[in-house]
Amino acid sequence: MQLSITREVLLKPLQQIIGAVERRQTMPALSNLLIRGGDQNLSITATDLEVELVASLDMEIEDHGATTIPARKLLDICRSLPDQAKIAINSSNEKIKVSSGRSRFTLATLPADDFPTIDDLELDQNVLIKEGEFKALIEKTAFAMAQQDVRYYLNGLLLELDAGQIRTVATDGHRLALSQLDHKSDIEGSRQIILPRKGVQELLRLLSNEENEITVSIGKNHLRVNLANLQFTSKLIDGRFPEYQRVLPEESDNRAKIDKVSLKQALARASILSNEKYKGIRLILDNNIMVIQAHNPEHEEAEDEIEIEYTGERLEVGFNVVYLLDVLNAIESDKVEVIIQDANSSALIVSPESQASRYVVMPMRL
Amino acid sequence: MQDIIHIDMDAFYAAVEQRDFPQYRNKPVVVGGDPDKRGVVATCSYEARKFGIHSAMPCARAMRLCPNAIFVRPRFELYRQISQQIRDVMFSYTDLVEPLSLDEAYLDVTQCKRSFGSPTLVAKAIKNDIKQVTGLTASAGISYNKFLAKIASDLDKPDGLTLITEKQGSEFVKQLSIGKFHGIGPATESKMQDLGIYTGADLLAWNLEELKSIFGKVSDYYYHAARGLDHRKVVSHRQRKSIGSEKTYNEDVGDIKEMLLRLENLAEEVWQDLSGKHMTARTVTVKVKFDNFVQVTRAVTLANDISKLGDITASLQDLLYKADVEGRRVRLLGVSVSKLTLLEQVDEEQLSLL
């Protein structure tokens, strides 16, 4: 196989798919990219057996064929070549040559047949959705996913679809994020899948805020997203996601409307006194005032006060300040509404303009 | 000069079983794992030792050596309770009690709570009390340091009482074979024998620098031990240095993903133990024993204290690869954490949503 390509044309897809290549693998082939040349098309595949990313480029190729090439080395070579450099790639049996101007590299290759591809793909449902809307759905909730929790089904994002809505839900057991979008489809009943954390992160890197429609295909064990020049496929987590509806708090009269930026700044100031282990802050809500207090094991103290719209009963509640800041970063409106029952029940945080995204944070006992 | 007593219960687990089941008395009793699986001998009675059975031997082998032996599974909860009774006895004599395990402890009786006139008489009284309270016998070694007290307790087992005086100390060590030194196991023993060191007297001929060039920092201990000296103090409330969990599998494991999964399960146990003790750690160690019984450990010290299970599990894959498990089969896997520190009791608690 022989091909010639401009540095920038190759670099962008390489950067998009490199995330699927793990630095340590169980199989040597997984540190390589699969390169396949057809008539007018070049495809480059990266996989870690869980997530598979395929980039395709329209181009002329002499000698059809397939081979594999060390992923990080190819990327580093492309990165270090000068702008607009012409790169020639030549593969013979056991070696692959990459050259540009006076730079020449001979890289080891592995047979294309040894490269694992995701099989038993049984995609049975296609959903058309605007790329930007899909991205927003994921972005608004992904931060609340658990990380290496023994409850493996929490280490991912729940995607729930029915005929009228698409929802994403993430929770780590202490807080929960839920976002929904009205979207008509031909789905019967409701369908739940859990996309693993790594897949969520890679997908977010690939999605843009474009208005164009993309196809999301769902199967029993896989999810595939087809983008303009990229195909994303991920295995799904085989597990039951908790019944998230049960943890959404009940209505309460203790509702505070707060300017988001002021709250964020005050929390950021108070969190100066928190550390890795000690992230608790105390919120005191009383008669249009919110007092934010923080203290740490060294007996240092911080106190901040902001004006809010609040006429409910006096409340004193502790929270992990990181959880609150995560929520404020995910909400877009200028104001946020915080609805709290008492110091031992979960709090609901929403935008006053729309309840499409809802955030639940469990308090800390301080 | 200190007065140190080393108390060592005689065939502790087996003696407890013989105490509770009269039909076991005067018979070879082996306390340990399942001989049909891969259990090992924890303790065996003196009757069983005559057949060549000793602790840490695979039970299956013990069974071949003595088919008539009575094999019983350990009752650790009970042993712990009895061990506590024994410690209570010891603490009534001195506050300086350093337990080494359930059945062994050092006591510093230089400042004894009750006056007996000599440390030998104190040891005798402790042995009597232990017998009264538990019905079990112990052997006691009395000397002027830990090293010699421990050796002394082993000289006249069971139900022994041996004193090594200051005068006898250095002479005694000279005739002692090198493998009997506490802390010198079979590996170091054969290394020393290669150097022509068979007894304490041989060791005495080496100076500290020579030893250090071969054995590193433990040389101090060897050098002084050869002279009958040991400056280690009896430390009560010995701090734990590591928390770990390991498992020998019924069948060897050859698949790396499977090994990783099992390590993750062990890590979960370690994490629960660690967090339950309100402690945190810095170093994660993976232990692998291959099917040829060769054992390796690989450790990593993290940049930050472990604050969640993921901090432990994140290192496992790397460590497993460093242990060179690819293409090999393992019979045992273990995970432990060390560099422990006690977490400051933080009185904040994150409430759970689910």
Report CB contact under 8 Å: A280, B348: yes
> Which pLDDT score is estimated for B233?
87
Looking at the fold, whether B137 and B25 belong to one and the same domain comes out as yes
Paired tokens of A298: 């060294």
B21 is written with which tokens?
């089941």
Query: Are B348 and A366 an interchain contact pair (Cβ–Cβ within 8 Å)?
Result: yes
Shared domain check, B208 and B154: no
B86 with B197, same domain: the answer is: no
Cβ contacts of A277 on chain B, cutoff 8 Å = 305, 307, 343-344, 346
Q: What percent of chain B has pLDDT over 90?
A: 51
Yes or no, beta carbons of B268 and A26 under 8 Å apart: no
Chain B residues near residue A341 by CB distance under 8 angstroms: none
Residue A134 reports pLDDT greater than 70: yes
Domain boundary among B164, B195, B213: B164
Q: What is the CATH number of the domain that holds B294?
A: 3.30.1490.100
Contact state of B354 with A24 under an 8 Å Cβ cutoff: no
For residue B354, give the nearest of A173, A280, A297 by CB distance. Answer: A173
Are B256 and A362 a contacting pair at CB < 8 A?
no
What residues of chain B lie within 8 A of the CB of A147, using their CB? 308, 310
From the CA atom positions of chain A, what is the Rg in Å? 25
- Closest residue in chain B to residue A366, using alpha carbons only: B348
Q: What pLDDT does A174 receive?
A: 93
**How far off is chain A from B236, nearest CA to CA, in Å?**
29
Strands B41-44 and B97-101: unpaired
In the predicted structure, residue B284 carries a pLDDT above the cut 60 = yes
- Using one digit for the tens of pLDDT, what is the confidence trace for A314-347? 999 999 999 999 999 999 999 999 999 988 899 9
Minimum Cα–Cα distance from B311: chain A residue: A148
Which 8-state DSSP code applies to residue B199?
B
From the list A148, A280, A346, which residue is nearest B353 (CB)? A346
The per-residue pLDDT for A16 is 94
Asked whether residue B345 carries a pLDDT value surpassing 60, the answer given is no
Work out the pLDDT band at A276, boundaries 50, 70, 90: low
Let me know if residue B234 belongs to a domain: no
Cβ neighbours, 10 Å, residue A272:
11
A30, A145, A148: best to mutate for the B interface, most B CBs within 10 A: A148
Mark whether B194 and B271 lie in a shared domain. no
Does residue B104 carry a catalytic annotation? Answer: yes
**Does B214 lie in the same domain as B322?**
no
Q: Is the pLDDT of residue B344 over 70?
A: no
Give the C-alpha separation, A155 to A144, whole Å. Answer: 10
Q: Which position has the higher pLDDT, B340 or A141?
A: A141
Q: What integer pLDDT is reported at residue B346 of this predicted model?
A: 52
Q: Flag whether B97 is in a domain.
A: yes
DSSP B107-139: EE-TT-SS--SSHHHHHHHHHHHHHHHHS--EE
pLDDT of residue B348: 65
Residue from the list B313, B352, B354 with its beta carbon closest to the beta carbon of A148: B313
Range from A135-144, A271-280, B2-11, B215-224 carrying the lowest mean pLDDT: A271-280
* Domain-located, residue B306: yes
Q: For chain B, what is the mean pLDDT?
A: 89
The model's pTM is 0.57
Count of the separate structural domains present in chain B: 3
Q: The domain spanning residue B191 has which CATH number?
A: 1.10.150.20
Q: A278-294: per-residue pLDDT in tens?
A: 788 999 999 999 999 99
| Tens digits of residue pLDDT in A29-75 | 999 999 999 888 999 999 999 999 999 999 888 888 899 999 999 99
Co-location of B26 and B139 in the same domain: yes
The Cα B84–Cα A135 span in angstroms is 62
CATH code assigned at B103 = 3.30.70.270
Return d(Cα B225, Cα B181) in angstroms, integer: 8
Examine the domain organization and report whether B137 and B95 are in the same domain. Answer: yes
- CB contacts < 8 A, A to B, total 62
Domain endpoint, select from B111, B143, B164: B164
The verdict on B38 and B147 lying in the same domain is yes
Residues of A in contact with B314 (CB under 8 A): 148
Would you state the pLDDT for residue B303? 84
Contacts A318 to B, Cβ<8 Å: 348
B150 and B12, same domain (yes or no)? yes
Structure-token match 């992230």, residue found:
A279
Residue A362: which of B304, B347, B353 has the nearest Cβ?
B353
Same domain, B285 and B325: yes
Amino acid (1-letter code) at residue A311: T
Asked which of A122-131, B200-209, B273-282 is least confident by mean pLDDT, the reply is B273-282
Task: Compare all CA atoms of chain B with the CA of A347 and give the residue at the minimum distance.
Answer: B353
Among residues B104, B166, B171, B264, the one annotated as catalytic is B104
CA of A97, closest CA in chain B: separation in Å?
Answer: 30
Q: Given a cut of 80, is residue B277 above it in pLDDT? A: no
**B236 within domain boundaries:** no
C-alpha distances out from residue B97 to A172, A359, B137, B236, Å: 46, 55, 19, 5
Q: What is the pLDDT of residue A62?
A: 81
Helix (H) or strand (E) holding B146: helix B146-153
CB-nearest to B352 from A24, A149, A173 is A173
pLDDT at residue B90 in the model: 92
- Asked if B351 and A242 come within 8 Å (Cβ–Cβ), the reply is no
| Cα–Cα distance measured from residue A189 to residue A161, given in angstroms and rounded to the nearest whole number | 9
Q: Give contacts of A360 with chain B, Cβ < 8 Å.
A: 353
Any idea which residue has 């472990």 for tokens?
A: B306
Structure tokens at B229: 């000296």
Q: Is B353 part of a structural domain of the chain?
A: no
Residue-wise pLDDT tens digits, B24-80: 999 999 999 887 888 889 999 999 999 999 988 999 999 999 999 999 999 988 998
Return d(Cα A177, Cα B139) in angstroms, integer.
64
Range of the domain at B109: 1-164
Instruction: Please give, rounded to a whole number of angstroms, the shortest distance from the CA of A240 to a CA of chain B.
Output: 13
Is B174 part of any domain?
yes
Higher per-residue pLDDT: B349 or B237: B349
Mean local confidence (pLDDT), B326-352: 83
Closest CA to B298 of B268, B259, B327: B259
Does the interface ipTM go beyond 0.85? Answer: no
In this predicted structure, the answer to whether residue B186 has a pLDDT above a threshold of 90 is no
Question: Looking at residue B240, what is its pLDDT?
Answer: 65
Q: Hey, CA dihedral for A258, A261, A262, A266, is it positive or negative?
A: positive
Q: What is the pLDDT of residues B240-261, one digit of tens each?
A: 678 889 898 989 999 999 999 9
B137/B75 same-domain check? yes
B270 with B330, same domain: the answer is: yes
What is residue B74's three-state secondary structure? coil
pLDDT band, residue A150 (cuts 50/70/90): confident
